[in-house]
Amino acid sequence: MADFIYYGRDKQGAVRSGKRTAIDLDTLNLELIKEGITPLDIKLITHKLSPTSQCYRWLQLKSLPPNELVVFTRQMQLLHEAGVPIDAALRQLAELTRNQLLSISLKGILDYIAKGQSLAAAMQHFPDIFSPLMISIIQIGETTGHLDKSFAHLHQYLIFEANNSKQIKSAFRYPTMVLLAILSAILTINLFVIPTFAKFYANLSVTLPWQTRFLIGSSNFFIHYFQYIIIAISLMTFLFFYYLKTPSGSRLYGRLSLKMPLFGKLLKQILLIRICQSLALVVDSGIPLNQGLKLVKQIISNTYLIDQLTKIEEAIERGIPFTQASAKFELLSPLEAQILAVGEASGELSPALHYISNFQHQEVEYDLKRLNDFIGPFLIGIVSILILILALGVYLPIWNMIDMVHH
């Protein structure tokens, strides 16, 4: 949520202006048009940072562990249910938490609350800690008087997100470590080990086998062109990420990433889990689906899918039912689309979203296990081939010399 100053004219031509809070500029623009006001100018209000917020900006490069927010939402729920005022609860948690970034953030929120801002408005000043989705859920809780339920919903959502993220990271940790070890071994062998053997064989008047010539040639290439290889890799990496920042590059990468062999299906499942969990949280909190989709778009980084979600959002605003609007959404299978249709028709959309999310979570667990079962032997095979090439390249000349001596 953000604060805006708007200027426009109503249907009678009278000037209308004021201050409004909205999710973003587009949402405010639509709200004003629905009220019969034609917006002429809308400006975002930028708030001057307090000393505490300035300290937060200095600390924001440090990441906040997901478990910190899980604990925070649970503690806020319990304190609110016990009747502890918001400012007292925040002050107590700011002193108790051991995470410096969260402590500074909570003290900054207290500063803004003391100036008359609501909890949700105060959290907006710390976007690297509290996502727009989280802030909107809390704002709904403040408006309806059920802040404890909002924190309870957020707590369950964050637990699921943290567990899902932890599971994925642990699954890819072993392959990543093995690949790094292989690359390090290749560099070490080419830069230090093979040159030693090359000097030894250079003094011998023997014809080297092709395996040895290949190793010596690759080593010489690495040694003589190492700086150019580094420059080329750095340049290609820079150009790749520069292209990703362009709209066309971001969309192309988002579309191709979903079609990658082995990992494309897994990425689709992970994104669908996140979208379904977020939409279920939105529905449970009473936020309209079109506004909820705006929030969901801010927590996924795939531009290709964001464009699809935007089309669904626009269709809902035209009065088309959610399940009909999302029927062609790439991540949904026909069966999952049917489950959503039944859930929406019966007024049980949130349980349907939770069901799809939990089902896909089980599928991810199974697919990650299968992926690890495949990657493990595959990496062992690569290591075995490298060891075989190295052994043949190093020892074949020695065996040939021994054979010559015997003859």
- The pLDDT value recorded for residue 119 is 92
Residues 187 and 328 in one domain: yes
236, β-bridge pairs: none
The reply to whether 118 falls in a domain is yes
Tokens of 203: 């003094």
Residues 171 and 309 in one domain: yes
Of 367, 375, 251, nearest in space to 303 by CA: 251
The reply to whether 391 falls in a domain is yes
The reply to whether 135 falls in a domain is no
- The pLDDT value recorded for residue 274 is 87
The reply to whether 389 falls in a domain is yes
pLDDT tens by residue, 50-63: 555 445 444 444 55
- The pLDDT value recorded for residue 239 is 95
Is the pLDDT confidence value at 49 over 50?
no
241, β-bridge pairs: none
Residues 303 and 342 in one domain: yes
Q: Choose one of 130, 165, 186: the last residue of a domain.
A: 130
8-state DSSP, 28: H
Distance between CA atoms of 125 and 136, rounded to whole angstroms?
14
Residues 255 and 368 in one domain: yes
Q: What are phi and psi of 11, to 5 degrees?
A: -65, -25
Q: How many domains does the chain have?
A: 3
Domain of 384: which CATH number? 1.20.81.30
Of residues 306 and 28, which shows the higher confidence score? 306
- The pLDDT value recorded for residue 60 is 46
Looking at the chain, the whole-number percentage of residues with pLDDT higher than 90 is 17
Residues 150 and 123 in one domain: no
Q: Which 3 state secondary structure label does DSSP give 7? A: strand
Mean pLDDT of the region 203-232: 84
The single-letter code of the amino acid at 220 is N
Residues 381 and 237 in one domain: yes
The reply to whether 376 falls in a domain is yes
Mean pLDDT of the region 144-148: 86
Is the pLDDT confidence value at 238 over 90?
yes
Is the pLDDT confidence value at 323 over 60?
yes
Q: Residue 90, exposed/middle/buried by CB under 10 A (0-12, 13-18, 19+)?
A: buried
Tokens of 171: 């699954």
Is the pLDDT confidence value at 110 over 60?
yes
Of 38, 47, 68, nearest in space to 2 by CA: 47
Of 364, 338, 203, nearest in space to 269 by CA: 364
Residues 206 and 118 in one domain: no
The reply to whether 138 falls in a domain is no
Distance between CA atoms of 402 and 360, rounded to whole angstroms?
61
- The pLDDT value recorded for residue 56 is 45
Q: Are 267 and 105 in contact (CB under 8 A)?
A: no
The reply to whether 298 falls in a domain is yes
Mean pLDDT of the region 245-254: 90
Angle, CA of 263, 264 and 266, to the nearest 5°: 65
Q: Are 40 and 16 in contact (CB under 8 A)?
A: no
Instruction: Locate the DSSP E strands across 120-189.
Output: none
- The pLDDT value recorded for residue 232 is 94
Least confident of 164-173, 272-281, 346-355: 164-173
Q: State the residue range of the domain holding 279.
A: 146-407
Residues 169 and 274 in one domain: yes
Mean pLDDT of the region 82-89: 92
Q: Choose one of 77, 101, 130: the last residue of a domain.
A: 130
Of 14, 284, 292, nearest in space to 136 by CA: 292
3, β-bridge pairs: 21
Distance between CA atoms of 339 and 322, rounded to whole angstroms?
12
Q: Write down the mean pLDDT value for the chain.
A: 84
Residues 120 and 218 in one domain: no
Alpha-carbon distance values, 240 to 15, 49, 228, 235, 236 (Å): 49, 35, 18, 8, 6
Is the pLDDT confidence value at 64 over 80?
no
Q: Are 218 and 190 in contact (CB under 8 A)?
A: yes
Instruction: Locate the DSSP E strands across 10-73.
Output: 15-22, 38-44
